[in-house]
Structure 1
Amino acid sequence: MNDSTEGKYLHAALGQRISIRGARTHNLKNVDLDLPRYQLVVITGLSGSGKSSLAFDTLYAEGQRRYVESLSAYARQFLQLMDKPDVDVIEGLSPAISIEQKATSHNPRSTVGTVTEIHDYLRLLYARAGTPYCPVHEIPLQSQTVSQMVDAVLALPEDTRLMILAPVARDRKGEFTELFAEMQGQGYVRFRVAGEIYEFDNLPKLKKTEKHDIDVVIDRLKVKPDIQQRLAESFEAALRLADSRAVAMEMDSGKEHLFNAKFACPICHYSLAELEPRLFSFNSPVGACPSCDGIGTMEFFDPQRVVAFPELSLAGGAIKGWDRRNPYYFSMIESMGKHYKFDVDTAFEKLPANVRKALLQGSGEEEVKFTYALESGPSAGRKVNKKHPFEGILPNMERRYRETDSAAVREELARYRSLQPCPTCEGTRLRSEARHVRLGEGPQGRAIYEIGRMTLRDSQAWFEQLALKGAKAEIADKVVREIGARLKFLNDVGLNYLSLDRSAETLSGGEAQRIRLASQIGSGLTGVMYVLDEPSIGLHQRDNDRLIGTLQHLRDLGNSVLVVEHDEDMIRAADYVVDMGPGAGIHGGQVVAQGTPAEVLADPASLTGRYMSGALQIPVPKQRNHLGQQPDPQVIKIVGARGNNLKDVTVEVPVGLFTCVTGVSGSGKSTLVNDTLYTAVARELYRAHEEPAPHDAIEGIEHFDKVINVDQSPIGRTPRSNPATYTGLFTPIRELMAETTIAKERGYGPGRFSFNVAGGRCEACQGDGVVKVEMHFLPDVYVPCDVCRGQRYNRETLEVLWKGRNIAQILDMTVEDAYEFLKPVPSIARKLQTLTEVGLSYIKLGQAATTLSGGEAQRVKLALELSKRDTGRTLYILDEPTTGLHFADIDLLLKVLHQLRDAGNTIVVIEHNLDVIKTADWVIDMGPEGGDGGGTLVLAGTPEELAKHPGSHTGRYLQRLL
């Protein structure tokens, strides 16, 4: 970018810039700022410095509010209205669209296909250009019009004697007296029953219990050129009587010609009404699988959960509730043992397969002799014998689960259930008819669910080579182009490893955000302001370049693109950069530097600029601890991991070191670490119920007494949760208040100082501090409570002071201020110290959990773990902990993680950030690609070894830093 272009922004006419004056939202300190329109603007700065307050809570909120207020009052009631931001004036705003990192949907019916609307196009395509097949014979179904049927008959040799029949019953039981009478009433007097022709008066008496084939004789004629009209009328009559079917039988040879106005199989007459888009929707009763209602999974009693200890015998407790401790059920097991000749003291896993099947699924028709002891009445204790089939342990649990009225029994049984693919539709969500419609010719043809299971990369390739013929090609052309364009955008934002049938609730925040981004590009809007929140989250450096290209494409369409971002490549690619700071929380909220990337880099006041120019940097450790250095290295070994796309991976994780798991998006990192390692260790140490992903073994769990997964899920879903309640600070603070003289005189205990229970809280707002006022066509307004003025407590509680401050004032302090104030109390000071160490000195103790970002929530959890007493035998697992963190925050976080490691703990981090990878002791690189092209181990070694590895995408980018 040359100097003349750089200078043009600030001299631009007002129409070419967004002008903000006096922005005071959250911690912003009266910010005045001019941003260029129709450019890619990156807002960066420390966590908590006010980036989101400026981008989302000020610019987006005002852009959205103005647009919504321009609509009618009727339309406004259906839209969520934003609060008016605290700002004097904003000029030059466009309608705003925000693309945040929220999980798309918790609806199990939402998939990548439905969210991107590709599924809607696919349904239309299959309904208009698909070919239905017979589920049994795998041959295309054919449908014919009456004129096609007439032409087929006229093609027979002249003078062929024909009988036109209506097949009214095929393979059906009954006497059919009513049917015959009804047909006679319509003027039909001849019938074909079991291949023989009968007049109405001498019809045979049919047996009710036997199956019969019955045809009504519609007409008898000879093939002649002039019978066209008569044939057409006969066929129409036959189709009307026999559910769109007709038969033309050659009377001399007995040869039959079958016709069907619906799609039908010429062999078994399996037929299908006309194809329509609803048939391919699993959200419509027309297309959904009738067993699972289109969800694709069903809850079943899981044999692996029911047989919790297969190494034990049935008598010794292999199956809880069916051992010696339960005489009623155990007597059944003993009877089964006598019948099938097995010993109840043999380990369950060593019993023959047929015995295990009979025990779990039941004995079917086979009767077993059971001995029961009568429990009550005059004959109590007497034994009686009964012969009947054995119900089976799984069907028994299923029946009890269905029939019980007890919530406790249902809850206990639910522990043995797990979600499994629906056996009817095999997890495809669709009914049989929809599963047997294919698009494409011959072996290239695919059913709609097969397209759904492909990765997006493979789907795009398949549509590019799709060749349809004739009218179908013409009909499909536009729809295929639309699908292809959407798939291309999804692949361009680095999502090529996802599939269209992937459930939306399993997507990470970054993936969900990039899917919405691709949908926006597909919509092709111009003149809009897009506000994005860290779109590079969860992306490998390799995919980052494509993402930047996508954002530039969005800008080139004629839009203003505002991005809150810490990624160095993104900042360098921006047209304009705003650096917020200088600190976090109350120490932030100011614009420290602004201008082109080059100007910000040269500005000594900009912390971001100093990290990017190399003046400040996160150091590479002078010496690494690694496996090779230890005389007898301890490892935890994952053997044969096969979950999702993992291909039988065996890998060792060093105990007591800091290990980074890297690889492109979709290469199998989360499956290996979260779904396999964490879940298996948690199951072993805590008897957790969650099933780990398929693997052969995990060796070395004995090195740990705790496993902690510090993820980015919210620390609470209501405004009543806050950092003080989550970290356990609130309890000692309440106890401290209860120890004061005035509290003791009044008899107040710690409960008095909780805003969650009646007593000490303000009852007017029930301890919320705000009252909701419903405004109907305007957004609901939350106003501070008149009674407590937003302090949450009643007057008597607020009269209790410790060192001159009441409970509400303490909760309103930042962590930093609270540390200075509460230093004399060691139990509180230690927790506040750890919150400062993870870089959260700026958050308030009573700040609502709902206002914390994912990265902040993760660090609150990390602080809680750090404040606990440490045994030095903990396995810590972190999934992308640098999300939302500035270079300076990452430096702080790494110090904390290295401190944990130095205490003897094992740290496993999934991460794309190169600054974290370069400081790790050990790196496990997965790949080489995402989806099907991934799932293998590229390398396990030091960062230096990875940087030299030619097959590693991560190594290629790491070379620059080492």
Structure 2
Amino acid sequence: MSELSPEKAIEIIGARVHNLQNVSVTIPLHQWTALAGVSGSGKSSLAFDTLHAESQRRYFETLSTSARSLIDQMERPDVDRIDNLPATIAIGLRNQPRFGNTTLAQTAELDEIIIRLLIDSGELQCPQCRIGVRPQYLADALQKISLFPEGMRFQVCIPVNVKVKKADQLQAALQEEKTFWENEGFHRFLDFSGKTSKSKKTASFLVIVDRLKSEETKNSRTAESVEQALSSGQGRCLILAEEAISGSPYRIPIADERDREWHGYFFSSEPECPKCGTIYPELEPQLFRSTSPVGACSECSGRGIKVTNKLNALCEKCEGSSLSEVARLASFLPTESTTDSILTYAEIQQFTLQELNENLNRLDSLNSVTSQSLQTLLRKRIDLLLELGLGSLQLKRLTRTLSQGEFQRVVLMSALNNDFVNTLYLFDEPTNGLHPADRLPVVKFLRQLVVEGNTVLTIEHHSDILAKADSVIELGPAAGKEGGTITYQGTVEPYLQQLKKEFQEKVDSNNSDLSNDQPDLLQLTDIHCHNLKGIDVQFPLKRLTVVTGVCGSGKSSLVCDTLYPVLTQKIADRGDQKEAIPFENDPFSPAGTVSSIKGADTIDECVLMNETQLTKSSRSTPATYLKVFDDIRKLFAETVDAQARGYTPSRFSFNSSRGGRCSHCEGLGFIEMDMQFLANLTLPCPECHGTRFQPETLKVSYRNRNIHDVLSMTADEAFAFFRNHQSILRKLQLLRDVGLGYLTLGQSTATLSRGESQRLKLASYLNATSGLHQLFLFDEPASGLHPRDIETLLQSLKRLVEQGHTVIVIEHDARIIQSADWVIDLRIDSERGESSFVYSGSPSGLRDCTKSLTSRYLDHL
């Protein structure tokens, strides 16, 4: 690649962050550059910990002295110089939430816009009377009167309610109340039979302030009379009209003393139902929060579920929404041509994104400046989500039930929904979890950012995406200390040719075919789950099966939501598994059902390889999860210094309060600062400076390294350091076998990606010798891996099969698909919203399946 002039490129000189080896590199401005390399080679260190960190530091330098005094000084990245660095926006690879009831609408930030629209141009509805309820003021009353036909008579009144404890006191109380109003200068009254209670302990009447004709509405008398009624009636006023005006939700028939029918239009400065008189809470954001007393469903206290017979069930009152009925019935204001509200909040939540887009024209009557601005913002977000292929998703869909690809596209939309220019966008695997056919819209958006005058830097491994970039930078050649150097910088085509030549032979050698083999089968019939409706499937046992297909085609529904809970329950009912893994009873995402399951008798255990068990505690690390840290702590406790001080292995634990951990951060090594106006800052602990331990504990060393130094090592580095300790080496080798040798031993498992979490759990099973026939389920374990890392993962999967286990993998990667024993390819009918099988068989036959979108991408690395 020809050298770029400093004016046209970001110039990094001497970057030494983490494992970067004094890297100097230029990144073209207003172009798309892809960063490639094996896991742990330094890609994130360069993009996020160098470029983005320096951009953040420069931003904080622009803050006032008083603002900067509230936070600790941000450290400058270890780099000699960075020239021509624009402002940065970093979009990291976010872990999908596995718990909680956050919806798609909330994650995509649509819900907040809809709520703001309701507050600006909406109203509440009385659940009992189904009448619109909202505060009404002088201007609202005058606007309604202006619609009266010419010459129509109307009366301006004050509604008065009287309540007594005993029925025999009612007449005296009424007379006393009327005397009060006569003393105030009002002498005309009208009994309000519509407000009289059958209990005879309450009664209502109207104080007539003025009688007018509609031709008089243009003079000041009307406004003065209405204002007087609102003032004397404590914000409440009733207009009686001879004729009903269409389009009003406040029409109440009232008969006077001559039995003439009048039509009442009620106005109150409080959200009061004009029919039953109930006063409701203000239309405000808290009304739509299930954590708020005014917004939470009274039946389930805002949880959305109720426990019945020790099982969770959807709350019948709120239908799982967790919101009060008042919140769910909040609606947009009606037009003058209809008495029905346009849309309720509950109806909108039932929409798919495509249906919401089709119904946006029903909000066209909202013509305030604020509502018009909010509608424009809402339409832009919906258009982006539709272009990313998410139109079939319901707004109320729980985020934790989305596929990984769907979730990543929602996150990506949030980043793309702005109009910045001259900005450096940093993306960490923007197409992670996407089928090749679903990546094209993402490519379009990335290219559009460049067209609009921005610079794009993506960490990427997929060859079809790399081919769309303007240039590529590869870091390597390996992970950890063996990485951190520039191994390639230039145009994309030569780089892809080099990769294809390197890996095509390996793919060919890994190809399998079951045409001459007859393994036992696991068969499920009549599957119903989400968009899977009545399909049958079979998996060969003690083989590697890959389930693939476009995003939303039902892969996770088949494997994680149906096969796992059904098979787990089958094993548990059989009673020969000591520790069957129970699936959680989740009414928001109920398990799929099958008519029958055959071939499960030989399976002893079903293991879902996901990250939920890893991310429950931020204290969990690769070293603690694989229990190698127990061996390391024992080794430190056996040193001369430790024995002289009387230290036991617990002294070197950062989880024990009785050990030698730092008391300020409780062994975490960091503290979080609430920035209020910005995202929380995570800063090194000011007491231990990120080491996790007390100074006395750090004085004990093994081969000149203290316990903090060891936790800072990668698994590869620790493998060389503990070369004489077989128990430690065996466990560290497990990490290396699944391609995780680049992970530091003390890294929180909460920071691992989904793919890394699955591979860490895989490592714990590789050397198991239980003699059981286990069925392992993986959900995209190759996520975020370079082709060289995928080869390592593939060997680990095959190792499980060689040990007599069954492996089923949800995956899009062409190398794993072609190396499988069996492939199941799914598709979805977007119009009917139903999934079906495109192909089921050996990988060699998939190429000839013309209906399969997957077959078109089998040559992609």
Match of 2:345 in 1: 448
Q: Is the 8 A contact 2:88 2:424 kept in 1?
A: yes
Match of 2:244 in 1: none
For residues 193 and 692 of structure 2, the distance between their equivalents in structure 1, rounded to whole angstroms, comes to 92
1:568 aligns with 2:568: no
**1:806/1:24 CA distance change after superposition, 3 Å:** closer
Q: Deviation at 1:557?
A: 1.4
For residues 695 and 664 of structure 2, the distance between their equivalents in structure 1, rounded to whole angstroms, comes to 7
**Which of 261-270 and 123-132 deviates more?**
261-270
**1:774/1:953 CA distance change after superposition, 3 Å:** closer
Match of 1:409 in 2: none
Match of 1:666 in 2: 552
- Secondary structure at the residue paired with 1:619? helix
Q: Deviation at 1:585?
A: 1.2
Match of 1:32 in 2: 24
CA deviations on 1:832-880 (whole Å, 9 max, x unpaired) are: 3332221233445455546655543432221111122242511111111
The letter for the 2-side match of 1:491 is L
Match of 1:940 in 2: 840
Which of these two proteins has the greater Rg computed from alpha carbons?
Answer: 1
Q: Deviation at 1:713?
A: 5.4
The letter for the 2-side match of 1:952 is S
- Secondary structure at the residue paired with 2:431? coil
Q: Deviation at 1:460?
A: 2.6
The letter for the 1-side match of 2:626 is T
Match of 1:258 in 2: 264
CA deviations on 1:617-646 (whole Å, 9 max, x unpaired) are: 5236444237x8427x3315264332x444
1:210 aligns with 2:200: yes
1:693 aligns with 2:591: yes
CA deviations on 1:167-215 (whole Å, 9 max, x unpaired) are: 5349998544445413312205665558599xxxxxxxx9994365532
1:145 aligns with 2:141: yes
1:590 aligns with 2:485: yes
Q: Is the 8 A contact 1:773 1:783 kept in 2?
A: no
Matches within 5 A, 1:333-372: none
For residues 725 and 950 of structure 1, the distance between their equivalents in structure 2, rounded to whole angstroms, comes to 48
Q: 1:624 aligns with which of 513, 530, 539?
A: 513
For residues 31 and 386 of structure 2, the distance between their equivalents in structure 1, rounded to whole angstroms, comes to 24
For residues 239 and 293 of structure 2, the distance between their equivalents in structure 1, rounded to whole angstroms, comes to 27
CA deviations on 1:29-69 (whole Å, 9 max, x unpaired) are: 11111111111110000111111111111111111111121
The letter for the 2-side match of 1:291 is S
For residues 491 and 789 of structure 2, the distance between their equivalents in structure 1, rounded to whole angstroms, comes to 23
CA deviations on 1:892-944 (whole Å, 9 max, x unpaired) are: 11111112112221111111222222222223333315797244444433334
Q: Identity of counterpart residues, as a percentage?
A: 31
Task: Structure 1: state its 5+ residue gaps.
Answer: 1-5, 198-205, 307-415, 603-608
For residues 18 and 799 of structure 2, the distance between their equivalents in structure 1, rounded to whole angstroms, comes to 33
Match of 2:39 in 1: 47
Match of 2:252 in 1: none
Q: 1:708 aligns with which of 607, 611, 627?
A: 607
Matches within 5 A, 1:745-784: 750-751=649-650, 754=653, 756-757=655-656, 761=660, 780-781=683-684
Q: 1:291 aligns with which of 295, 298, 302?
A: 298
Matches within 5 A, 1:590-609: 590-601=485-496, 609=498
Q: Deviation at 1:98?
A: 0.6
1:244 aligns with 2:132: no
- Secondary structure at the residue paired with 2:812? coil
Q: Is the 8 A contact 1:568 1:612 kept in 2?
A: no
For residues 199 and 334 of structure 2, the distance between their equivalents in structure 1, rounded to whole angstroms, comes to 45
Q: Deviation at 1:695?
A: 1.6
For residues 468 and 538 of structure 1, the distance between their equivalents in structure 2, rounded to whole angstroms, comes to 37
Q: Is the 8 A contact 1:103 1:508 kept in 2?
A: no
How many residues in Structure 1 have an aligned counterpart in Structure 2?
814
**Which of 944-953 and 517-526 deviates more?**
944-953
**Which of 423-432 and 64-73 deviates more?**
423-432
**1:518/1:736 CA distance change after superposition, 3 Å:** closer
Matches within 5 A, 1:791-810: 794=697, 797-798=700-701
- Secondary structure at the residue paired with 1:244? strand
Matches within 5 A, 1:393-542: 416=310, 418=312, 420-421=314-315, 423-424=317-318, 427=321, 429=323, 431-432=325-326, 435=329, 437-438=331-332, 445-463=342-360, 466=362, 468=364, 472=367, 477-504=372-399, 511=406, 513-542=408-437
**Which of 720-729 and 108-117 deviates more?**
108-117
**1:923/1:265 CA distance change after superposition, 3 Å:** farther
1:730 aligns with 2:629: yes
Match of 1:641 in 2: 528
**Which of 665-674 and 22-31 deviates more?**
665-674
Q: Deviation at 1:789?
A: 12
The letter for the 2-side match of 1:183 is K
CA deviations on 1:731-778 (whole Å, 9 max, x unpaired) are: 344556667899899987654664555788477999959698999999
**1:88/1:185 CA distance change after superposition, 3 Å:** same
TM-score (norm 2): 0.80
Match of 2:176 in 1: 181
For residues 112 and 524 of structure 1, the distance between their equivalents in structure 2, rounded to whole angstroms, comes to 23
Match of 1:382 in 2: none
Matches within 5 A, 1:877-896: 877-896=777-796
Q: Is the 8 A contact 1:16 1:37 kept in 2?
A: yes
For residues 691 and 375 of structure 2, the distance between their equivalents in structure 1, rounded to whole angstroms, comes to 62
**Which of 752-761 and 589-598 deviates more?**
752-761
**1:222/1:189 CA distance change after superposition, 3 Å:** closer
For residues 299 and 423 of structure 2, the distance between their equivalents in structure 1, rounded to whole angstroms, comes to 42
Q: Is the 8 A contact 2:332 2:341 kept in 1?
A: no
Alpha-carbon RMSD? 4.8
For residues 163 and 473 of structure 1, the distance between their equivalents in structure 2, rounded to whole angstroms, comes to 30
**1:505/1:617 CA distance change after superposition, 3 Å:** same
- Secondary structure at the residue paired with 1:878? strand
Match of 2:736 in 1: 836
The letter for the 2-side match of 1:181 is E
For residues 718 and 496 of structure 2, the distance between their equivalents in structure 1, rounded to whole angstroms, comes to 35
Q: Is the 8 A contact 2:472 2:489 kept in 1?
A: yes
Q: Is the 8 A contact 1:791 1:808 kept in 2?
A: no
Match of 1:900 in 2: 800
For residues 369 and 637 of structure 2, the distance between their equivalents in structure 1, rounded to whole angstroms, comes to 80
Q: Deviation at 1:513?
A: 4.8
Match of 1:353 in 2: none
The letter for the 2-side match of 1:704 is I
The letter for the 1-side match of 2:181 is Q
Q: Is the 8 A contact 2:618 2:750 kept in 1?
A: yes
For residues 470 and 240 of structure 2, the distance between their equivalents in structure 1, rounded to whole angstroms, comes to 74
TM-score (norm 1): 0.72
Q: Is the 8 A contact 2:514 2:842 kept in 1?
A: no
The letter for the 2-side match of 1:625 is L
**Which of 146-155 and 494-503 deviates more?**
146-155
**1:745/1:945 CA distance change after superposition, 3 Å:** same
**1:95/1:747 CA distance change after superposition, 3 Å:** closer
For residues 721 and 647 of structure 2, the distance between their equivalents in structure 1, rounded to whole angstroms, comes to 23
**Which of 257-266 and 892-901 deviates more?**
257-266
The letter for the 1-side match of 2:527 is G
**1:122/1:207 CA distance change after superposition, 3 Å:** closer
For residues 692 and 282 of structure 2, the distance between their equivalents in structure 1, rounded to whole angstroms, comes to 64
- Secondary structure at the residue paired with 2:533? coil
Q: Is the 8 A contact 1:165 1:246 kept in 2?
A: yes
Q: Deviation at 1:679?
A: 3.4
